[in-house]
Amino acid sequence: MATHDHAHESEREAEVLDNIERMRRRRPRLKEDTITLAHGAGGKASAALTDAVFLEAFRNEALEPLGDAAEVVLPSGERLAMSTDSFVVNPWRFPGGSIGSLAVHGTVNDLAVAGARPRWLTAGFVLEEGLAVDELRWITEDMARAAERAGVTIVSGDTKVVGTGAADGLYINTTGVGVIPAGRRLGAEQVRPGDKVLVSGSLGDHGMAVMLARGDLALDADIVSDSAPLDGLVEALLAAAPDTRWLRDATRGGVGTVCNELAKATERGVVLSERALPIHAPVAGACDILGIDPLYVANEGKLIAVVPVEQARAGLEAMQTHEHGHEAAVIGEIREEPPGMVVMATAFGGSRIVDMLVGDPLPRIC
């Protein structure tokens, strides 16, 4: 039995290394000489910057997969997930959340989709001279409430103050640590043809809620951010569909970019159904007016899951009974062809290629 387990583990490690090498070969090259807003949008420019600058400087086995969280194995054999994120959303308050709750949810969700149970957060604040203490107080109180609801503890932090005009008031960074249960394995190397692609709810709510809250658009729509902790939803899904292959929260770049990352990592086709995409009418209408595809609009409380076909129904029902998954849907499947690409079966019976996000149509939404 021990020999069999060792052989299975070696086989999985080989799959992971092969997957990493494929991703390395397919990453785009950095063409720009200066940083633009597009480099922070989570699309092609972000991938090129990450690969050419950060990965090139810091390359190591834990960083190489470039997931939302890194897996770290302790000498005891216990596996931890670690993630860090910075939040510059403007405005600080928006329907359904604030920069404070978002800073907690964003890092909690990155840990959760890595298969970890989030436990601890750190919080770093860059404050601009002149910031009202009352403003800072309500932001930290909102963070505290969000952390309590997510079951995590903020255990350490840092504060820096910069001069007037140097930080647009306030930036927040959160770093999180979670524990990965023994035997839980998620990753692109697990994905197989025939697997179903599930989304936990409606697309684009957060990005459009923030855009409308800025007041720059002459639009009147009832859109609320979906910002929420996903750890409970992930646990419900994995209990019902224990062989779930892969998870990701669709934040910057939206579902379209996340599915492209999946297709490139697996060198398989991701085929989506336009009719199956859950998009609220106000979001669809606002996107139409702005000329933006909802597939590329960020969410902060939705996940994408790849589940074996025989467990897809159970996984879907488990999400639909959870408070953050009522509108969960099966939106596509994994196929051998076309390798490394995302294809949309349109509502009119045709098909189109869904490419990775180019540019940054909605800056500073997280």
**Which CATH number fits the domain that encloses residue 346?**
3.90.650.10
Query: Is position 363 within any domain?
Result: no
pLDDT in tens, the chain (366 residues): 444 455 555 555 555 555 545 545 555 678 888 988 888 877 778 888 888 898 889 998 888 887 889 999 999 989 999 999 999 999 999 999 999 999 999 999 999 999 999 999 999 999 999 999 999 999 999 999 999 999 999 999 999 999 999 999 999 999 999 999 999 999 999 999 999 999 999 999 999 999 999 987 777 788 999 999 999 999 999 999 999 999 999 998 999 999 999 999 999 999 999 999 999 999 999 999 889 999 999 999 999 999 999 999 999 999 999 999 999 999 999 999 999 999 999 999 999 999 987 777 788 889
Looking at the fold, whether 144 and 275 belong to one and the same domain comes out as no
Query: Is position 48 within any domain?
Result: no
Query: Is position 114 within any domain?
Result: yes
Global pTM value: 0.89
- Asked which of 184, 207, 236 is the last residue of a domain, the reply is 184
Domain that holds residue 110: 68-184
Looking at the fold, whether 258 and 336 belong to one and the same domain comes out as yes
- Asked which of 159, 184, 209 is the last residue of a domain, the reply is 184
Confidence (pLDDT) at 8? 54
Looking at the fold, whether 122 and 228 belong to one and the same domain comes out as no
Looking at the fold, whether 222 and 146 belong to one and the same domain comes out as no
Q: Is 295 exposed, middle or buried (0-12, 13-18, 19+ CB in 10 A)?
A: buried
Looking at the fold, whether 83 and 165 belong to one and the same domain comes out as yes
* Number of independent structural domains in the chain: 2
Query: Is position 358 within any domain?
Result: no
- Asked which of 136, 158, 184 is the last residue of a domain, the reply is 184
Contact 330, 10 (CB under 8 A): no
Query: Is position 293 within any domain?
Result: yes
Residue 93: enclosing H or E segment and its boundaries? strand 93-94
Confidence (pLDDT) at 3? 47
Confidence (pLDDT) at 171? 98
Distance CA 216, CA 351 (A): 35
Looking at the fold, whether 200 and 172 belong to one and the same domain comes out as no
Confidence (pLDDT) at 18? 59
Residues 6+ apart with CB under 8 A from 264: 22, 23, 26, 340
Query: Is position 62 within any domain?
Result: no
Residues 6+ apart with CB under 8 A from 93: 99, 213
Of 57, 51, 61, 80, give the one whose Cα is nearest residue 13: 61
Looking at the fold, whether 198 and 175 belong to one and the same domain comes out as no
Looking at the fold, whether 153 and 229 belong to one and the same domain comes out as no
Looking at the fold, whether 166 and 214 belong to one and the same domain comes out as no
Query: Is position 87 within any domain?
Result: yes
Looking at the fold, whether 118 and 151 belong to one and the same domain comes out as yes
Of 47, 13, 15, give the one whose Cα is nearest residue 31: 47
Query: Is position 5 within any domain?
Result: no
Looking at the fold, whether 275 and 159 belong to one and the same domain comes out as no
Which CATH number characterizes residue 87's domain? 3.30.1330.10
Looking at the fold, whether 97 and 134 belong to one and the same domain comes out as yes
